[in-house]
Amino acid sequence: MTKLILYICHVLWIMSYIKGDPVTGKLPSDRLRYDRSKAIGPLSRSGTVERVPRKLDKSVKDTGIPNNHVDLGKQSQETNEPKVQKTKPLIQVTRPDAKDSIIPQCKVKMIYPYDKSPTIEVKGIKGLFNSILVGYNKPDSTIRENKGGLFGWSTTVDGDSGIKVAFTFNLNYIPVTPISQPTSYCALIIQPPYEITSKVIQAFKSPPRDIRRSIKSIESFEQFLKDQGNHVITSCCFVVHPKVPVPEKTPRA
């Protein structure tokens, strides 16, 4: 009888070793320390495995889908509907058609000794405008400012429909007289026309290259006009050359 009991216990011990513990329900593999990093190939285990849902952090639980993720269900619905982009209303600017637009062109007519105002012919400018002639206050200086002197002012000119018109600096002009080297000047076309102020009148009364005729630079003058509601739409620049003395002809012996 004792041998029978020992035999039954031995059989139960062998069965529990092969099939697992019938009391606790643990598998034999649960008793072993399994190192997954040393495994070769995919890990497979028979039976159905149920995954426990991951617990979300309370701070991000109700935030929904992150910004950098795409909701595929919503995307599939949006692809069937036309996408309308909402934009802020823009200020409508009237521009001429490409076939009707004309590139501004200019031409300068000037005769030595430059004591009279040059004639400026422009084409492609529509509407009213006037012009200011600027140049170097110190033409012979090695370090020149950016055309910081006022040399002429024109009255209002009507460009009509962009046809060719000619004007002179009939309101104020001082002769441009380069001494030893060529000097460049620019006729700034301004729209709408810049009206004369008391400071401008004082500048007209001052002699050539006086400090009261200084506008510092073209950039600073353009910014000043922009603050007043005027704009330099284009400029017509030209170079004035000093008179080269012609050697006298020696009579032949």
Q: What is the pLDDT of residue 84?
A: 45
Residues facing 135 on adjacent strands: 149, 185
Whole-prediction pTM: 0.56
Q: What is the pLDDT of residue 12?
A: 72
Q: What is the mean pLDDT of each run of 10 residues along the chain (253 residues)?
A: 76 63 50 55 52 54 47 48 44 40 83 89 92 84 78 91 90 83 90 90 86 88 93 92 72 66
Q: What is the pLDDT of residue 145?
A: 73
Gap between the Cα atoms of 139 and 179, Å rounded: 8
Look up residue 41 and give its two tokens.
């190939």
Q: What is the pLDDT of residue 199?
A: 85
Domains of the chain, with CATH numbers? 105-240 (3.90.280)
Residues facing 157 on adjacent strands: 129
Gap between the Cα atoms of 135 and 186, Å rounded: 7
CB atoms within 10 A of CB 22: 10
Q: What is the pLDDT of residue 155?
A: 94
Q: What is the pLDDT of residue 197?
A: 87
